[in-house]
């Protein structure tokens, strides 16, 4: 960190901790949590091309399909990880520039909400798949959009 960026971080932390608006604090917690989770997911999935929740049966299947299909399956998972990394960058850039409670933040929440609502709907109908993490983010980003749009 440079002196300017350190000072900016301190000012943002003070603003967050002393904000009279509860939505300001909650929205920053939402964006911070989202950035953390999506970054962790990217860092977990991308290097191996595998989900940490894969069963031994799934790993055996990928190994058994051989040279042709195994790398394709791993590559699809890496592409998914890149998408999660992109979501993390979108949220982080809005958060770190202090734009969460602006029109820019509203549109970022629309995009992030669209993804998480869609993922929640898909998860709800997918057999044996439950990524519970999508539900609170879907709710949070939709709530952020509704609250900001009313102002």
Q: What is the pLDDT of residue 15?
A: 66
Burial string for 59-98 (b: 16+ CB within 10 Å, else e) reads eeebeeeeeeeeeeeeeebbebbeebbebbebbbebbbee
pLDDT in tens, the chain (151 residues): 556 777 787 777 666 555 555 455 788 899 999 999 999 999 999 998 888 877 777 777 767 776 666 778 888 889 999 999 999 999 999 998 889 988 999 999 999 999 999 998 988 887 666 667 889 999 999 999 998 887 7
Q: What is the pLDDT of residue 10?
A: 73
């Amino acid at each position: 960190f440079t002196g300017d960026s350190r000072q900016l971080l301190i000012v943002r932390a003070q603003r967050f901790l002393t904000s009279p608006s509860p939505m300001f604090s909650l929205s920053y917690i939402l964006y911070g949590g989202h950035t953390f989770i999506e970054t962790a997911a990217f860092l977990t999935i991308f290097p191996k091309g595998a989900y940490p929740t894969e069963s031994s049966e799934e790993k055996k299947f990928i190994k058994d399909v051989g040279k042709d299909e195994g790398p394709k399956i791993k590559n699809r998972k890496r592409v998914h990880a890149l998408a999660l990394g992109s979501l993390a960058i979108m949220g982080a850039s809005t958060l770190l520039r202090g734009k969460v409670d602006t029109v820019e933040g509203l549109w970022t929440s629309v995009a992030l909400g669209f993804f998480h609502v869609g993922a929640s709907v898909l998860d709800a109908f997918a057999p044996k798949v439950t990524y519970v993490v999508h539900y609170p983010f879907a709710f949070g980003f939709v709530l952020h959009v509704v609250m900001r749009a009313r102002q």
